[in-house]
A and B are shown apart, each in its own frame.
Chain A
Amino acid sequence: MIENLALLIEDDEDLSDIFSNALQAAGYHVEAILDGKVAQERLTQVVPKIILLDMHLPHVNGADLLKQIHANDKLKNSRIIITTADNVQAEFYRNMATIVLVKPISFAQLRDLTARFLTI
């Protein structure tokens, strides 16, 4: 099993690239997934340290994935970071994740935040 795995679920290639760089800079091994359906499958196979979840995804949306994560006992120690551009949605998911980040999310912000999770 890969140590310090970060599962990055984000359909926007640019953001995926930037987040990926930030997570790597923070010291994670990053696996980036662009599609909800792929993520659904992958979540049954790996136990990541961090799951970075975009709520707006093709095929299977973030809300369904979030339910799946909560239902999976193996993932109970994984930290969930929800990313969304919607303030109202952010409020709604506040209790269902370790942290909710409202886009835009800067490279430095994500790097520094996730780096802290490695030390705790």
Chain B
Amino acid sequence: MKKINAWIQNFIEVSSSDPDDQRRRRNLNIIILGMAVLLIIQIPISLFNLNNIDPQDNLFIGLASIFMLLSMTGIYWLNRVKEGNLSSYIFLAVVMLVVSFSDTPEQIANGRSLFVFMIPIVMASLILQAYSTFIFAAVSSVIIGIVATSINQSPNVTAMLSYFLIALISWMSSSGLQSALKDLRTINADLDQIVIERTNELADALTRERIESGRNQAILNSIADGVIVFDKQHVATLANPALSELTEIPVQTLQGISLDNFVQVKSIPQKSQQSIKDLIQKSEHSEINPRVEWGDKVLSASVADVHDSKTQETIGSVAVFRDITQETQIEKMKDNFVAVVSHELRTPLNAIMGHAEILQEGVHGPLNEKQLSVTQRVMVNVSRLLSMVGDLLNEAQIRAGKLSVKPEIIQTASLLENLRVAMDKAVTDKGLELITTIGNDMPEELIGDAQRLQQILINLTGNALKFTEIGSIAVSLNRVDDEHWKIEVKDTGVGIAENELPFVFEAFRQANNLEFTTRQYGGIGLGLSIVKQLVELMNGEIQVTSGIGKGSTFTVVLPLLKEMKGA
């Protein structure tokens, strides 16, 4: 059924630039099709006398039908290939011809065939312009007039008038239909125009968007650092190829990955997983720039909030990962190098010290005053060298994580007593005063690493001594609160400029011009750096307040351990 329908549609279809022309020619095809079917049925009936009419008549009808069928085929072909009215006029002319000769002149002039002439008039309204109905009304009138005259009858004026009446009705309905269709087409065209405009606008907007996002994507793609954007629910909305390369996770997997899956997709250490999660979830435990181990790489991570450009509302966070494997290796090599070198330096220095001591102690016989003085100078200088090398080694050990804190029970008073033993002479030699006090609320016993605490005290006092020419150095131990105690080292020295304060705990750095201070004050600038690292190792904090000419105060706040861990 569908196939037949499709065939019919295909049969009647014509192509034309004018939709009205197309409609009319399609109507013609429909009529031709209908007539062809009728003719194909009629031809065998007539030729084989299947009806009971005069065989003479049947032959005539049969031949006329064949002529009609052939004409229809020709007109159909013409209608298919040629635009315009020609085929329709020919068709109607043939119809007129057939109508004119299909009956007796009497019947045509004044009888039943008068009605048949209405057919081409009505058809004209379907397959030609509306006005053509009048043409065929006129032609029909002329024909019946001529025929009537030829048989000496008066023309049937009533029939002629009725032709024109039918032509008028057909013309009205046809032109009504035509203008309605025209309106419809105009509306359609307007609609089409609107759709086209909207489509173009949309395409433009999309193109702009694509260019914009393409540019952003291009920027993102060319960043060497790995970038991943998480929304508020910690689901990745964006990741660049560098991150994929860095993490060895395919870009498709990164797209839409949850934070939990992101840290677990490669088996990275638990600690690194936690660091990343803390960082992105903005946990208070989070370090600012945590280093994370990722396979055989070391990455440095940082995070920033993403704000909506209009509402300023936080809509997620962007995390940036940088490969610092090489830097880490170099750092490690440097630390190892420093550790090895300082250890190797220490051995001969200790030997020099020992030998000098043997001389000083008179093991090989007593020394005269000059010899003793020289020996003592050797010892003083070697001990300075030894302390520098010791600092270097300490620094390297702390950095390599090899230095640990061993808590034990220590007498609070002994910390300051030992400090006095170590520093009294140097302080007195410089004409300064060392004041040590213990707050009343300090417990008599502390839990901590005696050696490291001692080192903190000595380094801070040594530092104060180095930068103080007149006055005193005050070292005090005090309780802060239930859970903390503090060491305070206050001097009356040169002080530190405000802009230098942030750097005083950096390794190999002294406030002021490095070269200048190193010459003036000696040392290699590791003392405070070591103190800071030791303090951090003990979960404490160190602060400094100072100003040029106002002296400096270093405050170390440490947790007050109540009992030995693991003891």
A contacts, CB < 8 Å to B:
12, 14-15, 17-18, 21, 24-25, 85, 87-88, 91, 103-108, 111
Contacts and interface: CB of A to CB of B under 8 A. Distances in A.
B333 interface: no
Contacts of B402: 88
A25 to B, nearest CB: 6
A111 B362 CA distance: 13
Interface string B332-374: 0000000000010011111101110110010100000000000
23 contacts: A12-B347, A12-B351, A14-B347, A14-B350, A14-B351, A14-B355, A15-B354, A18-B354, A18-B357, A18-B358, A24-B363, A25-B361, A85-B343, A87-B403, A103-B350, A104-B346, A104-B349, A104-B353, A104-B386, A105-B350, A106-B353, A107-B354, A111-B361
A22 to B, nearest CB: 8
Contacts of A108: 357, 361
Given A15-B351, A88-B402, A91-B406, A107 B346 contact: no
A91 B386 CA distance: 22
A102 to B, nearest CB: 9
Nearest to A110: B354
Interface in B315-347: 343, 346-347
Contacts of A91: 406
A49 to B, nearest CB: 21
Given A15-B351, A103-B350, 10 more contacts: A12-B347, A14-B350, A14-B355, A15-B350, A18-B354, A21-B358, A91-B406, A103-B346, A107-B357, A108-B361
Contact of A14 (B354, B357, B406): B354
B351 A18 contact: yes
Contacts of A15: 347, 350-351, 354
B344 to A, nearest CB: 11
Contacts of A18: 351, 354-355, 357-358
B358 A14 contact: no
Contact of B363 (A12, A21, A87, A103): A21
A10 to B, nearest CB: 11
Interface string B383-405: 00010000000000000001110
A107 B360 CA distance: 10
A12 B346 CA distance: 13
Interface of B: 343, 346-351, 353-355, 357-358, 361, 363, 386, 402-404, 406
Given A14-B351, A18-B351, A85-B346, A107 B358 contact: yes
A106 B357 contact: yes
A87 B397 CA distance: 11
A25 B363 contact: yes
Q: Name A's interface SS.
A: helix
Nearest to B393: A85
A14 B363 CA distance: 15
Nearest to B406: A91
Top-10 shortest CB links A-B: A18-B354, A14-B351, A107-B357, A104-B350, A21-B358, A21-B363, A107-B354, A107-B358, A25-B363, A106-B357
A81 B403 CA distance: 24
A23 B353 CA distance: 17
Contacts of B354: 14-15, 17-18, 106-107
Among B343, B347, B358, B361, max chain A CB count under 10 A is at: B358
Contacts of A88: 402, 404
Nearest to B351: A14
Nearest to B347: A12
B556 to A, nearest CB: 22
Nearest to A107: B357
A26 to B, nearest CB: 11
A17 B346 CA distance: 17
Nearest to B343: A85
Nearest to B359: A107
Nearest to A25: B363
B269 to A, nearest CB: 23
Nearest to B379: A106
Contacts of A21: 358, 363
B517 to A, nearest CB: 28
Contacts of B353: 104, 106
Nearest to B357: A107
Contacts of B349: 104
A14 B361 contact: no
A12 to B, nearest CB: 7
Nearest to A14: B351
Contacts of A104: 346, 349-350, 353, 386
A21 B355 CA distance: 9
Contacts of B357: 18, 106-108
Nearest to B362: A25
Contacts of B355: 14, 17-18
Counting chain B CB atoms within 10 Å of each CB, which of A105, A107, A108 scores highest?
A107
Contacts of A24: 363
Nearest to A102: B451
A87 B358 CA distance: 26
Contacts of A105: 350
A117 to B, nearest CB: 19
Contacts of B403: 87
Nearest to A109: B357
Contacts of B361: 25, 107-108, 111
Contacts of A106: 353-354, 357
Nearest to A15: B351
A5 B404 CA distance: 37
A105 B346 CA distance: 12
